[in-house]
Amino acid sequence: MHKAHIDVLVNALHEYGVTTISSNELGSLLWQENHASVSWRSDAVAAPPYSADTTEAPIDPIVLAKAIDCYVYQSCEHPGWASSIAHRLVDALTEKVAERLGVSANGWKTLRAYSKAPWGITSLSRAHTVGVKQ
């Protein structure tokens, strides 16, 4: 998973008021959880050090919805996922994003714009203005 993808989640967790954990600590936690999943399936290396890139620009909620789905898909493979802090944080963010979009949790997959949003984020700036409309 690209570091910018983690940056999007870190920024969104703060933007949506889910946590006050520092950006660097939060990003490290999310990235380590992702690497734990990848390592559980293969012989991957440990997560590299994380240093957050932050933005004041709002994250597009459709782009964020797909970023959440991508993160969960790539982080849920190991046995510790269900009880992890990362899982609880992402679940809380899922609820907030669904509420903002006016859909049930994960109901965003039925929105036309969802299919146009990127699956993986490779640049924090791509999460702001990608031209995705509901």
What is d(CA 69, CA 84) in angstroms, rounded to the nearest whole number? 16
Which pTM value belongs to this model? 0.92
Q: Which ranges of the chain have pLDDT less than 70?
A: 129-134
pLDDT at 129: 59
Residue 51: which residues within 8 A CB-CB, separation 6 or more? Answer: 24, 27
pLDDT at 126: 83
Average pLDDT, the chain: 91
Torsion of CA 54, 47, 114, 85, to 10 degrees: -80
pLDDT at 95: 97
pLDDT at 17: 98
SS3 104: coil
